[in-house]
Amino acid sequence: MQRQFIFVIGTRAQLIKVAPVVVECEKRGMLTTLLMTGQHKETMRDLLEEFSITSRQVEAFPASERLTIRSLLRWLPQAYRGLERQLKQLRQPNIEQYVLVHGDTLSTLLGAFAARRCDARVVHLESGLTSGRLFNPFPEEICRRLVFRMTDVAMCPDTRAAMYMRNHHKAQVVDTGGNTIVDAVNLACVSDAWDGVRSTYLVASLHRFQNIYNTRRLRYLVDLIIRLAENNPVHFVLHPATRKRLDAEGLMVELAENKNVKLLPRMGYRDFLRLAAGATCVLTDGGSNQEELAALGVPTLVMREYTERQDGLGGNAIMEADIQGDVESFIRQGRFEGLRKSPATFPGSGPSHRIATFLGGDASISESVIR
């Protein structure tokens, strides 16, 4: 029976990580559709062009930036109804419907639930990752665990995640041998984008709920950036929600007035990778950033209490809580230089290739990755 593959995409990070899989599916002539939930709007169109994605795009709900908790709560039921409606409209006779959801966002949860309601097969990309703590990160860990329960095929990025799914859930498990972010970095041709000259600037990218909605924590992070800027320029990439919270707390003015702090809007993928690759060190709370920077070998400080990802840890990345002393001293004294690694080499056949091969029903895929 022919198969139809519907990728539910809501956030910028999801689009970046799903893009290499979509590209591989398009190469094979597979029937693919992007079903957009509208959770993010900024740079989404640019990303589609950067990855040269040609698949049909359908809106479950008009795109907009959900900058407040209230706006996100209003969006939830509307996006769900749109997803269910579009999945029913996309269904075709004698074609098996596969709905691919990615990661741990609210769009992931809505997509999986709508797919189950529409009797479609649920394929979870980046499955099996867990922090082991139900409320941290919030709400991502809750979303993730609920999606695990609805998953038919779990595409796990490593052996640890695959083992978790085999031990705790009934889904068919595929170990993809890596994270699709590696393929995304490869597609972005960052080696061509970066001239190899490393400057003496830092990069900050902070947007997690625990960091921006805790006033004391947000104040600490702003003070940290300002202090670090005394010695090195800091390029602060602002997510829309982060910008709104900084404005609401009256913190934007002092950042904007600091000549050594450069406030940047969220940018194109290739441009961001070029910025990060040239930095001396990056402070981030983003899981995708952690993975990208592991591929680039750039010293990374993960500014969160817990992470479900192992990428870079013990190599180019260190958790904030594992730093001896304080973050400011760690950077001022140059101790982060010990984290620098060589950029990862990109194999010709990465995880996205293996995922698309499995989805296409290729019987030659190794049994060692499927259980």
Q: What is the pLDDT of residues 209-266, one digit of tens each?
A: 999 999 999 999 999 999 999 999 999 999 999 999 999 999 999 999 999 999 999 8
Q: Can 2-187+347-360 and 202-339 be said to share one CATH topology?
A: yes
Pick the CATH number of 2-187+347-360 from 3.40.50.880, 3.40.50.2000, 3.40.50.670, 3.30.9.10: 3.40.50.2000
Strand 2-9: give its sheet, edge to edge: 56-59, 31-36, 2-9, 95-102, 121-125, 153-156, 172-175
Strand intervals (E) in 165-260? 172-175, 202-205, 234-238
* pTM to 2 decimal places: 0.88
Peptide bond preceding 20 in cis form (omega within 30 of 0):
no
What's the CA gap between 278 and 162, in Å, rounded? 34
Which range is least confidently modeled, 76-85, 91-100, 133-142, 340-349? 340-349
User: Mean pLDDT score of the chain, rounded to an integer?
Assistant: 92
Superfamily assignment of 202-339 in CATH? Glycogen Phosphorylase B; (3.40.50.2000)
pLDDT tens-place string over residues 159-185: 999 999 999 999 999 999 999 999 999
pLDDT at 68 (0 to 100): 78
* Residue spans per domain, the chain: 2-187+347-360, 202-339
